[in-house]
Amino acid sequence: MDKVYESPAAALADLDDGASIAVSGFGQSAGAPVSLLAALRERSSRELCLVANGLPPGADPIVEGGRVRHLIVSFTARSGRSSATDQLLSTGAMTFELVPQGTLVERLRAGGAGLGAIFTPTGLNTPIAEGKEVRCFDGKPYLLEPAIRVDYAFITAHRADRLGNVEFRGANRHLAPSFAKAARVAIVEVDEIVEAGELPPERIDLPGIFVARVVRKTVANTLPKYGLHRRPADIAREYNGKPGRTRLQIAEQAADLLPEPSYVNLGLGIPSHLSSFVEDRDIILQGENGILGYGEIVDDDELYPDVFNASGVSVTPRPGISYFDSVTSFEMIRSGRVDVVVLGAYQVDAEGSVANWAVPGMTGGGIGGAMDLVASGGTVMVLMEHRGSNGEPKLVQRCAFPLTGKACVDIVVTDLAVFRRRDGVLAIDSVAPGFTAEEVWALTEMDVPAAGVRNGAGGM
């Protein structure tokens, strides 16, 4: 049962028009199957349905060529990056379904497990729930989400043997196992192909029964890891002629509020910097890409190959680190085992509702794992600058943008203040040096609660 093909092109020889393809990868490009995407670009297959967390830049020529009819993704757009996808979606030339990351991976897992659907708490009270069946179990509401099955899956791994047994490396398994299991034909591109028996059984992360074809990588992954316009983390925004906290200082302030011991999930943007401020504390960081126990961000991407956070940014492995797939990661999240989730946001309102995946004028957006995280039952902390780059308010009386979660935020840390939700409303807990509570409220477009300001941020 030799599953090795001579080339990516040979492995795709029967991929016809109308095929559905699950394309693995995380962040901008981590784990992107670049060799298989390059082979797909050379084919004439059209009317494709692509399923992905977010399409890596390597898929852009396929989309730009008008060869894709439908997307099922967690990200149709990413901050700082624009592409032909945006234009095609806005004109209706290509349709899409936006799915929370944990729901996406679970729907694919269900498809691979021979199940018809799942029920999930993720997305309740948001646009994702519109038109979907809601059913209660043990007094709690859940959304019905159908399983996803695909014709092909493109995944990447470190090694595979000729029987199709696969070994991943570090955090680079993420969505790949569930994508492979949901596919009629799962194709894996690897750094190395070995003979059957050369992979130790305990290091086989995906059994060969789920893999149809194996090819050696022919294209290096040189795709960009980050968005085009990453904000400097050490430059403060000014208010009333005075500097607030920098993005790094926001993260440092937030780190001081974390309880010990605790498991903490860090989101994209400012929250990702928090990992640089918990090294000596009894805090274990978790990422929805499938990593538990990582440390600070490192600039050298080659120092720790395949060790990265949910932003796709390279990080240090701490003693006791573990890696797993995204199904396991979201089991940790939805089961309430993650104590604190730290997110960025576009808006937070007075009752603690949060919007962080879409703004007016955007077609689709970037949900990622945020909806799963705010529905987890853990403490929800939002880190953001007090006002946007154009001076627009981010703390508002009621969110005008599509909700990520309703009345779920417990703490907000901005460059001007720390807010806590008490008795159903946000109130100032402490202010940044050089500012007063009155100044902060004047820059905040929500009603001032009777609680006013409480001195001292304290812990949770």
DSSP conformation letters of 296-348: EE-S-TTTSTT-B-TTS-BEEEEEEEEE-BHHHHHHHHHTT---EEEE--SEE
Q: 271 and 184 in one domain?
A: no
Q: 174 and 244 in one domain?
A: no
pLDDT at 457 over 70: no
Q: 208 and 106 in one domain?
A: yes
**Residue 458's pLDDT band (cuts 50, 70, 90):** very low
Q: Which of 153, 185, 216 is the last residue before a domain boundary?
A: 216
Domain enclosing residue 141, as ranges:
8-216
**CATH classification at residue 437:** 3.40.1080.10
Q: CA nearest 310: which of 341, 284, 285, 288?
A: 288
Residue 202 falls in the annotated catalytic set: no
What does the pLDDT read at residue 459?
45
Q: 359 and 255 in one domain?
A: yes
Mean residue pLDDT of the chain comes to: 92
Q: 70 and 181 in one domain?
A: yes
Task: Please indicate whether residue 198 or residue 28 has the higher confidence score (pLDDT).
Answer: 198
What does the pLDDT read at residue 460?
54
Find all residues with CB under 8 Å of 336, minimum gap 6, and list them.
Answer: 376, 377, 378
**Residue 91's pLDDT band (cuts 50, 70, 90):** confident
Q: Tell me if 137 is assigned to some domain.
A: yes
Q: Tell me if 283 is assigned to some domain.
A: yes
Q: Tell me if 228 is assigned to some domain.
A: no
Q: Select which of 106, 145, 167, 288 is catalytic.
A: 288
What does the pLDDT read at residue 276?
93
pLDDT at 452 over 80: no
Q: 98 and 18 in one domain?
A: yes
Task: Please indicate whether residue 372 or residue 79 has the higher confidence score (pLDDT).
Answer: 372
Range of weakest confidence among 1-5, 191-195, 296-300:
296-300
pLDDT at 229 over 70: no
Cβ distance 151 to 184 under 8 Å?
Answer: yes
Q: Look at the chain and report how many structural domains it folds into.
A: 2
What does the pLDDT read at residue 221?
85
Distance of CA 322 to the CA centre of its chain: 18
Q: 287 and 150 in one domain?
A: no
What does the pLDDT read at residue 404?
97
Q: 429 and 312 in one domain?
A: yes
**Residue 311's pLDDT band (cuts 50, 70, 90):** confident
**Residue 223's pLDDT band (cuts 50, 70, 90):** confident
Q: Tell me if 161 is assigned to some domain.
A: yes
Q: 293 and 202 in one domain?
A: no
pLDDT at 230 over 80: no
Q: Tell me if 86 is assigned to some domain.
A: yes
pLDDT at 142 over 70: yes
What does the pLDDT read at residue 451?
54
pTM across the whole model: 0.93
In the predicted model, what is the mean pLDDT of residues 268-274? 93
Q: Tell me if 354 is assigned to some domain.
A: yes
* Alpha-carbon torsion angle 302, 284, 109, 54, nearest 10: -50
pLDDT at 301 over 80: no
Q: 210 and 244 in one domain?
A: no
Q: How far is CA 240 from CA 388, 418, 436, in A?
A: 15, 19, 12
Task: Please indicate whether residue 179 or residue 224 has the higher confidence score (pLDDT).
Answer: 179
Find all residues with CB under 8 Å of 310, minimum gap 6, and list them.
Answer: 26, 27, 265, 266, 267, 268, 272, 287, 288, 289, 368, 369
Instruction: Quote the CA–CA distance of 209 and 186 in Å, as a whole number.
Output: 10
Q: 171 and 250 in one domain?
A: no
pLDDT at 342 over 80: yes
- 426 in helix, strand or coil? strand
Instruction: Quote the CA–CA distance of 220 and 33 in Å, as a whole number.
Output: 10
Q: 308 and 202 in one domain?
A: no
Q: Tell me if 223 is assigned to some domain.
A: no
Q: Tell me if 458 is assigned to some domain.
A: no
pLDDT at 321 over 90: yes
